Amino acid sequence: MKINTDLLHAYQLHARLSGSYEPQAMAHISPIYQTTTYVLEDFDTAVYLNQHVDEGFVYTRFGSPNCDELEKKIAHLEHAEAALAVASGLGAISTAVMSVVKAGDHVVFGDVIYGCSYALFAKVLTQLGVTYTRVDTTNVQEVADAIKPNTSLVYVETPANPTLKISDIAAISEVVNQHEGITMIVDSTFASPYLQNPLDLGADLVVHSATKYLCGHGTVTAGVIAGSKARIDRCRMPYLQCFGAVLDPFAAWLLMQGMKTLGVRMERHCSNAMKVAQYLEKHPKVDKVYYPGLESHPTHEIAKKQMHGGYGGMMSVDIKGGMDAVRTVMNNMKVFSLATSLGNVDSLIQHSPSMSHFDMTPEERHAASIFDGQVRLSIGIEDVDDLIADLEQALALI
């Protein structure tokens, strides 16, 4: 089936948990299994399932029918053998990363990534004996040069938050595959499975903050990991088991309702974003627009090759006048909401230097092209003329 059909129907769980269970009713929408534990058939079954939690349901921290359905759908959309649903995007990132690295390892990651991902590598893992090298992952040679004998992970965020740099997943994968024992993880949150499938391009694991485009409505905090069954099993046991970043059944159910419209939402996000980016690129009070769909974007050609169906709904904008101009614009938006998230049906605006990337020093931010006068826009599905008019009136107040 094509993707919009899969979003609605792939692995739909109407009510049947196993061949031995006869449901009282075949619900059109999957039921919510709002329970913490499951009654086990007999002693032998209890022993087996407690030791093979991926094969049945024992305790919701290990899995639930709602998470299982979500995981199967994510795996299907990402062309993966398996997937794991967790309680947040950072839960997905940290679980995936911790399943790979150990004390004494070295990690390579991008100079432009989400601020909390940077904090994980720079402030948490360093306390556990893990070292790192930051590189421009759009330059494949920099990635190759940074790899050391003890490198265990190459971590790529593409499109990157907030400058929308696009890294060539296939080219980096070729470099990684020249070495033994290195895992490549790609954060594909900004693209969603609708626009990009990193596993097809050579990544070992793909992570998403499902809070964003997969949900689309700002109602759920969640994360997902997809990859081979062996890698996902390792993420689940012992890492999810011990970290406890479990996604509750109702949140998984809500997320799947949002995913049903991912395709039609992404089409509108992409269409609106392109028009907004083209408008802002010509605006006299704007220095620069970071949107991979623009030919002026330095990694436009990689995006054109790697992404399918559009360039996403995210962009950043350097406004002339610095922080004072940013404050004026953000305080006077009428349609855009000032909020730190992204990927919602409604448009959002944030100031990346002081919000999502405050963990970085000013020098680190400026080196990564995250400037004080920069705002990040998450373009929603409103009528695009209203979005442009809102930006126009706010920029006019500078």
Catalytic, 212? Answer yes
Q: Is 334 a catalytic residue?
A: no
**3-class secondary structure, 295:** coil
Which of 111, 168, 187, 372 is labelled catalytic? 187
Active-site choice (38, 114, 213, 239)? 114
Active-site pick, 165, 212, 268, 376? 212
Name residue 274's amino acid.
M
Q: Which residues of 279-289 are buried (b: 16+ CB within 10 A; e: fewer)?
A: bbbebebbebb
At residue 151, φ and ψ (nearest 5 deg) are -70, 125
Using only C-alpha atoms, what is the Rg of the chain?
A: 21
CA diameter of the chain = 73
Question: Is residue 187 annotated as a catalytic residue, yes or no?
Answer: yes
Decide: residue 122, CB within 10 A, 0-12 exposed, 13-18 middle, 19+ buried: middle
Identify the active-site residue in 61, 72, 148, 304.
Answer: 61
Query: Rounded to an integer, what distance in angstroms lies between the CA atom of residue 287 and that of residue 317?
Result: 8
| CB crowding 325-350: b at 16 or more within 10 Å, else e | bbebbbeebebbbeeebbbbbbbbbb
**Tokens, residue 295:** 């030919």
Which residues are marked as active site?
61, 114, 187, 212
